[in-house]
Amino acid sequence: MKKQILKDTLALLVITIAAALCLSLVYRITSGKIEEAEKKEKTDSFYLVSDGADSFEAIAEDVISAFNADKTGVAVLEAYEAKTADGGFAGVVASVVSHNGYGGDIVLSVGVSPEGEITGVRVTGMSETSGLGANCQSADFTDQFKGKTADTLGYVKNGNPGDDQIDAITGATITTKAVLEAVNSGTAFCRAYIAGR
């Protein structure tokens, strides 16, 4: 009886080790491709949130760090000057994270024109509840930001937003607040950068 238990335990141990090694191998093979796909999605989002951009030029990390210094719960991850085909300035795009989503971090890209108008918002990463907070990725929600010029945007729940408001996601107030927090912070960074160039 004891020999059988020992044999079964040893067999399970060998199977577990083999499975772990296989998973490790699969991760090594796919991690580069996953990272590459995530980078491509972020780059694609920059084109989607900017008007007339043909290329992007990175904004120095120290400029971003200085902006993030007094922020809590939200941070600009990276930012770029949007350039037209002839090298002209087409605005600024930023990747921003809010740590205050219902399901955790919400990462989005926001674009701002040289005149300070929001040219687009696209959520690139989130873990919000399907059918509720996950609706923050829908065009119906993100398209509301386009053309806004207010310094700080708020939200309404009644479906009649003003010039400085957007319509909240039904049943997802925490997600709405987190997205607004990220958009407001990203927009503030972009506008401050544009004003100082």
Give the contacts of 105 (CB within 8 A, at least 6 positions apart).
Answer: 97, 98, 99, 125, 126, 127
CA 99 – CA 116 distance, rounded (Å): 25
pLDDT of residue 180 exceeding 90: yes
28 — pLDDT class (breaks 50, 70, 90): confident
pLDDT tens for each residue of 121-167: 999 999 898 989 999 999 999 999 999 999 999 999 987 899 999 99
pLDDT of residue 30 exceeding 90: no
36/134: higher pLDDT: 134
For 161, phi and psi rounded to 5 degrees? Answer: -70, 145
For 131, phi and psi rounded to 5 degrees? Answer: 85, -10
pLDDT of residue 32: 80
**Which of 42-51, 75-84, 161-170, 188-197 comes out lowest in average pLDDT?**
42-51
**C-alpha 181, offset from chain centre:** 12
Contact yes or no for 100/177 (Cβ under 8 A): yes
CA 61 – CA 15 distance, rounded (Å): 47
Instruction: Give the start-to-end residue ranges of the domains of the chain.
Output: 49-196
- Percent pLDDT > 70 in the chain is 99
Exposure class string for 126-165: b at 16+ Cβ within 10 A, else e: bebbeebbbbbbeeebbebbeebeeeebebeeeeebeeeb
Look at phi and psi of residue 40 and say left if phi exceeds 0, alpha if psi is from -120 to 50, else beta. alpha
Compute the mean pLDDT over every residue in the chain, rounded to the nearest whole number.
91
